[in-house]
Structures are given as C-alpha cells and as structure tokens.
Structure 1
C-alpha cells in the first residue's frame, strides 16, 4: 500500500513543485508508533538550496491538494523538508550530480564480494557507476543498488 500512496502523492506533488521551481527528491509513507507519516523531500533545481519558506509553501499547497483528492485512507502527518546532507540518490540525474562526491551505496547482491560501498563516485554512465573506495574501484550496476545516498566525511 505504501508504494501506491507514494506514487499517487508524486503525481499530485510534481505539478506543485514544478510551479515553485523545485525538485522532488523522495517520498516516504510509513508508520512510526501509532502514527502514519507522509514525508516529502524537496530541493532546489540544479542544486539550488531551499529554505523554510519553500518548505512551508509546498506543504500548504500540497496539503490542500491532498485534502481535495483524498488519496490516503486514514490520518497521517505531512512533513515537507530538505533531504539534508545525506541526500538519497535515486534517479540517474542524482548520480550524475553526485560525481566527485562521497557516497554510500548498498546492493541487493554482492559486487566483487561486497554489498556496502563508501567512497567517491567517480563516474556514472549507461546505468553503471564507479565508486573509488580507498585504493580500489568498483563498477556497480544501477539495477543492483538497494540504496544510495551522499555520505558525510569527517
């Protein structure tokens, strides 16, 4: 059910974000304790930063649209925010923008004996990424990626 909800919310949110000049990064719909949360992560297009006013504006407009269409049964809490420093990487454009940055990637099945990689994304082309981890490079096909995000290096 949560996949159906996120797909429906995406269709409702995209025109709002396009009108605001913002980008949809991710949508989560999950239960935590007694409450259901609908989290919509947004960012500026071309990596432009967003602020609290952007989040408030989108939250208000999205809340009105969701109330009108009523695609989610039951009560939920809507949160609209920035993806933060550890932004998830989902679309090919996300990976292209992350070239040269530190990433953390997990895979569904081992790639060269590993399922977790943390290093610099050095290349992305034709659905394959190259992650440079210490002294070794890994070629990881996008279809094997379970999760990927930017990684903070201390």
Structure 2
C-alpha cells in the first residue's frame, strides 16, 4: 500500500468517528513537507475554525503515535472551500449541475483536460460532462483531478446550503 492510501486508511476512520468526512489527503513539498487534510462535516453544516482545530489536535496525536511519515512535516487541516475538489463518487452526484474543471489520466476524444457542466455519475461509474463539443464520459477511475469552478451560481448555492435553503429540484 502506498503512503497516500495508508494515510487515508489511518485518518478516515478517526474523522468518521468525529462526525466528519475525509475529502482529501495530500502530502506536498520537497524540502518542507505539508500534510494537507480536507474534511467536511457529516451534518452538512459549514466547517469553522473550531472544527479544523479539533481535527488537527486529534489527528496530531494519532499521527504522532502511528508515525506514518518519516521526517518533519506540517499538518494543515481545512475545509474544501467553495471551489472544492471533487474526490469521491458522491461528490460527482451531489454537485451535478455546476461547472467543473477535470483532468483525465487517459485521453478522452483526444484530450485530457475538460471544463464544463457536470451532469453527474452514470451507472457505469463514468463522470458525465457537457463541454463545448457535446457530452463526454470520463471513467471515474481515470479522473486525475476535478474541482468546482467558482461561479456566481456556485456561490449562491453555497450560501443557500449554509442557510439550509437549498433544494435539489
């Protein structure tokens, strides 16, 4: 198992027990390593500074005991933000209808980078996007990276979510 998978397996259950979903684990840097943890509240409420502090304290203790990363690193805990990365199958369902940027590991119709409206995830586990040339399907397993594009529509929807007013119709 690679380090990324080991970190996800170590951190995910702890976050789950605390009432959070793991969005992304990313180890960045060469000289000075940073372990970035992105989490969402399971109850759908907005992440606050107190959430990040609680997660950081809990994970710091866990990581000190397990010691999965050799050498020094900085732990950074954050919310995914408005223009969040889409990392899980449920993200591609939840955020259907919004504009996304996506990079595929394999060329699809001669290209690897796409920007368009997210249709969702189909029964074959392919991410469906409407781009300038029509609709494309990118196998979820081939998605190298995807994130929401910051638009006025996304900001309005996020504000409604935080107020508890968003509906899925």
TM-score, length-scaled by structure 2: 0.80
Residue 63 of structure 1 and its aligned partner are, at CA, apart by 0.2
Is 1:84 the equivalent of 2:78? no
SS state at 1:49 partner = coil
SS state at 2:80 partner = coil
Match of 2:135 among 134, 137, 144: 137
TM-score, length-scaled by structure 1: 0.87
Report matched runs for 1:59-138 at 5 Å: 59-125=56-122, 126-134=124-132, 136-138=134-136
RMSD, aligned CA: 1.9
Contact (CA 8 Å) 2:92, 2:121: kept in 1 or not? yes
Residue 47 of structure 1 and its aligned partner are, at CA, apart by 4.1
Residue 131 of structure 1 and its aligned partner are, at CA, apart by 0.7
Contact (CA 8 Å) 1:12, 1:62: kept in 2 or not? no
Contact (CA 8 Å) 1:6, 1:27: kept in 2 or not? yes
Question: Which ranges of structure 1 fall in alignment gaps of 5 or more residues?
Answer: none
Contact (CA 8 Å) 1:16, 1:58: kept in 2 or not? no
SS state at 2:93 partner = helix
The count of aligned residue pairs is 151
Contact (CA 8 Å) 2:95, 2:120: kept in 1 or not? no
C-alpha distance 137-26 of structure 1, shift in aligned 2 (>3 A): same
Q: Find the aligned partners of 1:35 and 1:122 in 2 and give their Cα distance.
A: 39
